[in-house]
Structure 1
Amino acid sequence: MALEGGRLHEALRGGRFALIIPEPYDDGGARGQRLAVERWASGARRTTVLVRPDGYVAWASDSAGPAEIETALAAHVG
């Protein structure tokens, strides 16, 4: 997956979850040690994906707003 910050495997380094989003999202740094926030390299993508540290998708949505993203992060990342 092409991301603005590189590739997915780079975002998952260090055992972190990766939240891949089409729009900017800021969780206030509360999960900084457990979560990497990346944006799609292509602006045409609208899917938001939360990837577990083992590379499996934990959650995905085509129309997630901040509340839905926060709910998914709370459930999976803590």
Structure 2
Amino acid sequence: ITTIGYSPFGSGSGKSIKLPPELRTLAKEKNISTHQLMLAWVLRHGDVLTIPRSGEASHMAENIAAVDVTFSPDELALFD
């Protein structure tokens, strides 16, 4: 069964989910935003779909760039 994440970052500002410091650090190390980090995590799994919102061209470019983010097994362990 495929799952679709609706508003995975919460409504409005997207600050509803409090990410652990380790994931914020990982995003900084990868030179990406925390939204890109979480979107890349969701996209790596073939049975979860996402509908990322974008109100600006720059945000759309960030969403598209999330496709190229990869994770090592140790990085994936941070999410777990």
Tell me the TM-score normalized by structure 1.
0.27
Higher strand share: 1
Higher radius of gyration, 1 or 2 = 2
Higher helix share: 2
Question: Which structure ranks higher in relative contact order (CA pairs < 8 Å, sequence separation ≥ 6)?
Answer: 2
